[in-house]
Amino acid sequence: MNEEQTDSVRSKAEKQEPISANRLPTGMDILDRTLNGGIPKGSLVYFGADPKSQPEIFLFEFTTPRKTYYFSTNRDPAHIMKHMSELNFSMDNLEFVDIHDEYYNNIYISSQDAAEADRRVIEFIDSQLDDIYANTNQSFTIIFDNFSFLIDLGIDITILKRLLDKIYDMVSDRDSTCILLILKGVHTERIENLFESYCDTIFNIDSDLKGDKISNKLSIPKIRGMPPVNEYIRFKIMDRINIDTSRDIA
């Protein structure tokens, strides 16, 4: 390589570095290349998913690059860990926050009414977030599996927005990210639009049955700092997420 070519390569690297330096890897190399390095640091991610598409496998992938705090609302963490172990995911960087147990085995059975239960579950999440912020100085990932649980409780939207504001401040200050799994077909379009507006990155996963085959596709209509990804990213779920590079990613 001559001097002119070397300067050209160096120039391109210098131009690309600020973009990738402001990204957090997703755990999936092909997806990271599409996103110029990964998820923008300091971002809330709206992860809308058809439950049939097994979105939890994506969540497991997101836990692999860095310390992850996994807020479990829908299942006992023991069942999640069993599932991850069956798929050979490492759990070395993983810490669970068990909202499922706290709500169903503590808050729900001892609360006088729904309003008290709502208040107590938010207080529990607030206290866990405070502990994370106080004890973690490096970049991390927060995952809500799933955030639909809180929306479906009927908690006032203003209270949930205040919770997201707190999380946003946390991840912005720590160059981290928070991923909110929100199930499709559960909420009204108004609610979905509101929460999409709160987040600066949106992933959408859909699953369709075509003939005798299931077609899974990921779209990214909104991502801070870059244009939306215009094409669907098709993927298969085997032992891990397998992205189809032949059609959707150059």
Read off the pTM: 0.88
At residue 33, does pLDDT exceed 60? yes
Residue (of 142, 145, 120) closest to 131 by Cα position? 142
Question: Is the Cα dihedral 162, 113, 100, 47 positive or negative?
Answer: negative
Q: How far apart are CA 11 and CA 26, in angstroms?
A: 26
If phi over 0 gives left and psi between -120 and 50 gives alpha, with beta otherwise, what is residue 109? alpha
Across 94-113, average pLDDT = 95
Is the pLDDT reported for residue 14 higher than 70?
no
Residues for the chain: how many in total?
250
Q: How far apart are the first and last CA of the chain?
A: 25
For the chain, percent of residues with pLDDT exceeding 90: 72
Q: If you average pLDDT over residues 215-224, what whole number do you get?
A: 91
- What tens digit of pLDDT does each residue of 78-93 get? 999 999 999 999 999 9
- Walk me through the domains of the chain, giving residue ranges and CATH numbers: 41-216 (3.40.50.300)
* Helices 114-135/157-173 angle, 10° precision: 0
Q: Check pLDDT > 70 for residue 36.
A: yes
- Looking at every residue in the chain, the average pLDDT score rounds to 89
